[in-house]
Amino acid sequence: MQRYESYKSSSIQWVKEVPSHWNVERAKWLFKRMERPVRPEDDVVTAFRDGQVTLRTNRRTEGFTNAVQEHGYQGIRKGDLVIHAMDAFAGAIGVSDSDGKSTPVYAACVPRGEYPVNSYYYAYLLRYMAHSGYIESLSKGIRERSTDFRFSEFRELSLPVPNKDEQDRIVVFLDKKVTEIDAAIAKKERLIELLQEQKSIRINQAVLRGMNPDAPVRDSGITWVGEIPMHWKVIPNRYVFREQNARSVRGEETHLSMSQRYGLVPAKELNVQTLQSESYDGAKLCQEGDLVQNRLKAHLAVFAVAPCNGLVSPDYSVFRLQNPENQPVYFERLFKAPNYLGEFNRRVRGIVVGFLRLYSEDFNAIPALVPPIEEQAEIVRFIETTNEDFDDIRAKIDVEIDMLRELKATIVASAVTGKIKA
């Protein structure tokens, strides 16, 4: 990219130099904070960490809850530069695309008028400051990852001031480049999704129908499974597994933590507490190869084979294969096939949504598909190889995505600080 003809010292702590014809002014001479009353028709506006500021109803907002009382809420107008005081460090700064209302921890800023200002340019600039860590370094917050960047801090910052035409050109340039890069990232993320789907289809086919597509088949007798290889057995889980209820005496065994993403792993690897109690006395013991289920989330595939001996929450179910020659990984993956998860969902019980459990008697009543031992081992090898192939490909795509994100950050930083000429 082309650079400007000459530069000068900026007097800005985080920018050594700016183009010679740019000005530097404190934010208070560029923007003022608006405090508007809320109108009856106003819906809630949210500032997201990706820089979008929009009505909450325009976007999926898992994890957000509406306030019981909207004390101190303020009016937001389309075109306001909105700064989320407690989340600005993570990039929750942008220009609102809608009229609405917001919590008082947002600052709604509009140009003062002394200098011609493009709010979108300053949204890019402030988000660059956030991603570079500068905003967090200014924070006066006392809680980890909950830092404050209030208007009183913003107004005292020295900021570069290109002329209005340049601000407009920078915004047009960045909108185009960011859109192109985001589209490239989205394609690669979609490729990962397609590869994941393909992997799941191949593994599900293996655990439900075996490795030989030409093997004679028969009706399994299970409506939600259909045909299976002729020589496979169908056995209720109560005859395949035996539930374990041994408890820890001192709680000194390896603490295992369950997550949907990582399965069952030593808690120290996730840096989380596996139990809510400070004491692990009375926790359930499990052995390597046991199938451990989070009863509240088993229907969401939150279960896994224990990688080692250890202890788990007393509310988990622990099942051990009665025949030690059976392959635990085969059964874990069998139960994660859509056919079995559908059956788990049909069998969960409870009176409150979100607290539906898969009880042991219901799990035990579900019929398992049991191939011969050597065929189970073959399927497990296929699962492992398929996972390794996918992980190798994904790692390469992840590197490409990281490079694209780094490129986007570099382009934004260079454009808003004048290192390149838009």
Q: pLDDT tens-digit profile of 345-371?
A: 999 998 776 788 999 999 999 999 999
CATH topology of domain 211-370: Adenine-n6-DNA-methyltransferase TaqI; Chain A, domain 2 (3.90.220)
User: Mean pLDDT for the chain?
Assistant: 92
pLDDT at 89: 92
- Going by pLDDT thresholds of 50, 70 and 90, the confidence category of residue 278 is very low
- Going by pLDDT thresholds of 50, 70 and 90, the confidence category of residue 117 is very high
Q: Which pairs count as long-range contacts for 306-310, CB under 8 Å and 24+ apart, including other chains?
A: 306/256, 306/264, 307/256, 307/263, 307/264, 307/265, 307/266, 308/254, 308/256, 308/266, 309/253, 309/254, 309/285, 310/253, 310/254, 310/255, 310/256, 310/266, 310/285, 310/286
Q: Is pLDDT of 146 > 70? A: no
Q: Using an 8 Å Cβ cutoff, are 308 and 336 in contact?
A: no
- For residue 15, what are its two tokens? 């920018």
230 phi/psi in degrees, rounded to 5: -55, -40
Domain range 23-161, CATH class:
alpha beta
Q: Is pLDDT of 19 > 70? A: yes
- Let me know how many helices (H) and strands (E) the chain has, helices first: 10, 24
pTM for this model (two decimals)? 0.82
Q: Which of 298, 387, 292, 295 is CA-nearest to residue 341?
A: 298
Q: What is the mean pLDDT of residues 264-282?
A: 66
- Going by pLDDT thresholds of 50, 70 and 90, the confidence category of residue 203 is very high
Q: Where in the chain is the domain with CATH 3.90.220.20?
A: 23-161, 211-370
Helix (H, G, I), strand (E, B) or coil at 17: strand
